[in-house]
Amino acid sequence: MKTDEQVGGEAPAGSAPGSRPAHRYIGRAVKRREDLPHLTGRARFLDDLTLPRLVHASIVRSPLAHARVVAVDTTPALAHPGVVTVVTGRDLDAAVKPIVANWILPGMKAPARPVLVSDKARFVGDAVAVVVAEGRQVAADAVRAVRVEYEELPLVTNQELALEQGAPAVHDDVPDNLAAIWRQTQGDFGAAAAAAAIVIRQRLVNQRLVPSAMEPRGVVADYEPATGGLTVWTTTQAPHLIKRFLAETLGLPEHRIRVVAPDVGGGFGSKLHFYPEEALIAHLSIRLGRPVKWIETRSESFVATNHGRDHVEDLEVAADANGRITGLRYRVCANLGAYLSSMGPGIPTVNFALMATGTYQIPVVDLEIKAVLTNTTPVDTYRGAGRPEATYQIERAMDLVARRLSMDPAELRRRNYVKSSSFPYTSAAGLTHDSGEYEASLERALHNAGYGDLRQRQAELRGEGRYIGLGISSYVEFCGLGPSRLLGLVGLGRGGWESATVRAHPSGQVTVFSGSSSHGQGHLTTFAQIAADQLGLSIDDVVIVENDTARVQFGNATYNSRSMPVGGIAILRAVDGVIAKATRIAAHLLEVDVADLEFSEGRFRVRGFLDREVTFAAVCRQAYLGHNLPDGMEPGLEEKSFYDPSGLTTPFGTHIAVVEVDVETGDVILERLVAVDDCGTVINPLLAAGQVHGGLAQGIGQAMWEGVEYDDRGRMLTADFRDYNIPKAHMMPVIETDHTVTPSPLNPLGVKGLGEAGTIGSVPAVVNAVVDALSPFGIVHLDMPLHPERVWRAIQAAKA
Ligand code: MCN
């Protein structure tokens, strides 16, 4: 591990071709290149797009959580001036295939999702019909004129109730609502528990969350009948995957489809998946021969865009008298909503299970996870996707054990960490951790927080009737989903690679085409840092192109914080290919062997000769002139890579929360959040800190304020920002970020992902802090969100 001050040190100048040159940009706080268009109002979001003859779609959504669709009368809507057409589920059936999950678990029952329902609606917000009109407001008005006759059916929103005998079936072909069971065991938990000094049982709830991206979803589709070409602009994190799913769902030739993600205002995992609206709007454009636009309203977004989390977990943890954890048993019930979204089935099962033991060396794990269908909005990836839920489990478990043994929670963690000499380390949960320094991360966070002093202050303040609390959370997660073979083994129907093409122009400047798809992460800056350093160019000589399947070769997507550890390495490899060819051209021009050349700062020099050199730009020029190339070499200078990583990278860190609880009102004041994160080599500390800040806001939001509630008819009680409480700036604590650097051995840059660290580490830190503050009342656990009423009631109950 290196500390902050050592990050970004200069490598010796003048490296041989193929070795890593000096870092001029990597490790530096280069300002975001993508900000200027945003700050000057020149960014192009989906709704900025307009086309000749554009018509607007608005969707009729079910107001009922479970209902048979008896009849749909479109006549009054069609009579509206300006309405072009109204299409119902029955009109669609033959033309558009239903959407299927992309993550298929063994033995899974996978009911498909119709693009518009024709038989029954399965959640409030399910799409029943669509109105297309000349104007957006006309379409929205005409939606209200579509008369749908429903026969209301019994419903179930809670996953545990959905498993009870006689519960209403969300899908007739899954009568017990149980889509999948994931079981994993290592060792014998019964024996571990029998031999343990203590066994603690605790029920933990990871409530349902709304991802709340700043920009709701939207789609514009434009079909050109003369060529059969279809262009779809969509607010997605995964344009290349959407292209494939569009072809499969609409039965179109994939090579005639172009998908573009314009500027996208955040996604947090919710814009990763193929949604019915993408198929629907594309189909409407084909049907009408006109471009069609659909923009999700904020109210629609609350019900129609995927939710996250929604786990109920029964935890058992066994430990010896010295605080060594000897076994874990989890019984989890996960709510997947009314349909299996693309990655939905794998998040609470595979993703969660791999993280079950956290940063600790725990020999015995016994997991059973039930993935359940209910009459609610589908649940899929939300920043962290399974890893926050698992971290919450294990980090609450650590505090519960520490409390029972009257041990300091920091000390308990020290006793259980995977030791730094043990890497690569394969946990009992089956995850190989590539590198780590868990104890060092803790010590740094304790130091930054001033832990010892805070504990002293806590004791003093208690004497004055004031209750401050300290919460620690040490997390590890996995990033850079791959390799492809692993994804195949766990049933995820896509590759684990990422692609890049590096095109050197005759002038010596470079365009990099990446299959990743930035939607706020700053790839135009960080990817350019990587390419510019490797080529010895100014960052101004590098342009990054993403998000357009017609311009970029192929790609996967931006998710699982994979862009740096997978997409970044694809760029590095393609750059290596360009340098290798350029070196051969340079050797030819200088009439020396390739081995006699060294490449640095954009120049090929003959070793030992100060005046014998040729610039990268001159080589590029010659590559395209083709006048003087080595025999048999093709002109041009462009290379590509489909980089498939050899394993997962495992970033880690420690977050410490400091709270004060007003025991009269139950109000929690989150005073400080101290975060020490380790994502290996940091490409850009400024953007990295921004990523951590954003993630912390969402993690703190879950711990303190956010949560979806349904009424007994399956209607969301928290379906707008008055009732669904995301953190505002003034609600945020002082955030203190720092990092350690433990490079990944799996890639030449030593990078790991970072985009989700904030949501993964912070949630249990905050909950642990509040429970710690209230420990004098005998409170050992509180469910999230920790709003004042819940905290106050717990205090009253404890006092009683
Ligand atoms: N970074 C770095 N050094 C590293 C790793 C990352 O400097 N070793 C910085 C870079 O600025 C990089 C950014 O962090 O551009 C994110 O890189 P990475 O961790 O590889 O994550 P991805 O680019 O693949 O982004 C996905 C991740 C996920 S999964 C969610 S969810 C998420 C997130 O990123 N959603 C976001 N961050 C988001 N940020 C914004 N603004 N909006 C979202 O929707």
Rounded Cα–Cα distance for residues 523 and 51 (Å)? 28
User: Which residue is closest in CA terms to ligand 1's atom 37?
Assistant: 755
Strand residues in 162-291 grouped as ranges (E): 178-186, 198-209, 218-224, 229-234, 257-260
pLDDT, residue 17, reads 45
What does the mean pLDDT of the chain come to?
A: 96
Give the residue among 319, 321, 338 at the shortest CA–CA distance from 329: 319
Superfamily holding 46-153+212-304: Aldehyde oxidase/xanthine dehydrogenase, a/b hammerhead (3.90.1170.50)
Q: Is the CB of 383 under 6 A from ligand 1?
A: yes
Ligand 1 center to 188 CA (angstroms): 39
Ligand 1 center to 338 CA (angstroms): 29
Peptide bond into 424 cis (omega under 30): yes
Q: Fill in the amino acid letter for 282.
A: A
Instruction: Express each pLDDT in 749-769 by its tens digit.
Output: 999 999 999 999 999 999 999
Q: Is the CB of 386 under 6 A from ligand 1?
A: no
Rounded Cα–Cα distance for residues 625 and 635 (Å)? 8
Ligand 1 center to 480 CA (angstroms): 11
Q: Is the CB of 503 under 6 A from ligand 1?
A: no
pLDDT, residue 21, reads 61
Stretch 658-663: mean pLDDT = 98
Instruction: Express each pLDDT in 410-448 by its tens digit.
Output: 999 999 999 999 999 999 999 999 999 999 999 999 999
Instruction: Express each pLDDT in 139-171 by its tens digit.
Output: 999 999 999 999 999 999 999 999 999 999 999
Comparing 1-16+434-477+649-800 with 46-153+212-304, is the CATH topology the same? no
Q: Give the DSSP H/E element, type plus range, for residue 504.
A: strand 498-504
Rounded Cα–Cα distance for residues 205 and 392 (Å)? 9
Helix (H, G, I), strand (E, B) or coil at 617: helix
Stretch 578-589: mean pLDDT = 98
Q: Is the CB of 522 under 6 A from ligand 1?
A: yes
CB count in 10 Å sphere of residue 2: 15
784 pLDDT more than 80: yes
Q: Is the CB of 684 under 6 A from ligand 1?
A: yes
Domain ranges within the chain, ordered by starting residue: 1-16+434-477+649-800, 46-153+212-304, 497-643
User: How confident is residue 20, by pLDDT bands cut at 50, 70 and 90?
Assistant: low
Ligand 1 center to 489 CA (angstroms): 26
Rounded Cα–Cα distance for residues 213 and 118 (Å)? 30
CATH number of the domain located at residue range(s) 1-16+434-477+649-800 in this protein: 3.30.365.10
pLDDT, residue 3, reads 37
Q: Say what the pTM is.
A: 0.96
Stretch 368-396: mean pLDDT = 98
- Compute the Cα dihedral for 629, 632, 638, 639 and give only its sign: negative
Rounded Cα–Cα distance for residues 416 and 437 (Å)? 13
Cα–Cα distances in angstroms (integers) from residue 216 to residues 14, 110, 299, in the given order: 49, 27, 10
CATH architecture of 497-643: 2-Layer Sandwich (3.30)
Sheet of strand 638-643: strand arrangement: 542-545, 510-514, 498-504, 638-643
Peptide bond into 785 cis (omega under 30): yes
- DSSP, residue by residue, 126-158: -EEEEEEESSHHHHHHHHTT-EEEEEE------
CB count in 10 Å sphere of residue 151: 10
Ligand 1 center to 524 CA (angstroms): 12
Stretch 248-253: mean pLDDT = 96
Q: Is the CB of 751 under 6 A from ligand 1?
A: yes
9 pLDDT more than 90: no
Helix (H, G, I), strand (E, B) or coil at 379: strand
Decide: residue 327, CB within 10 A, 0-12 exposed, 13-18 middle, 19+ buried: buried
Sheet of strand 218-224: strand arrangement: 83-88, 127-133, 55-61, 292-295, 218-224, 229-234, 257-260
Instruction: Express each pLDDT in 499-548 by its tens digit.
Output: 999 999 999 999 999 999 999 999 999 999 999 999 999 999 999 999 99
pLDDT, residue 94, reads 79
Do 348 and 389 form a contact (C-beta atoms < 8 A)?
A: yes
16 pLDDT more than 70: no
Tokens describing residue 122: 């399965």
**Cβ density class 434-460: b for 16+ within 10 Å, e for less:** bbbbbbbbbbbbbebbebeebeeebee
Ligand 1 center to 563 CA (angstroms): 7
Peptide bond into 21 cis (omega under 30): no
Q: Is the CB of 759 under 6 A from ligand 1?
A: no
Helix (H, G, I), strand (E, B) or coil at 613: strand
Helix (H, G, I), strand (E, B) or coil at 230: strand
Ligand 1 center to 271 CA (angstroms): 14
Instruction: Express each pLDDT in 276-300 by its tens digit.
Output: 999 999 999 999 999 999 999 999 9
Stretch 247-264: mean pLDDT = 97
pLDDT, residue 19, reads 56
User: Which residue is closest in CA terms to ligand 1's atom 32?
Assistant: 268
Share of the chain above pLDDT 70, in %: 97
Q: Give the DSSP H/E element, type plus range, for residue 513.
A: strand 510-514
Q: Is the CB of 526 under 6 A from ligand 1?
A: yes
Instruction: Express each pLDDT in 624-657 by its tens digit.
Output: 999 999 999 999 999 999 999 999 999 999 999 9
First-last CA distance in the chain: 50
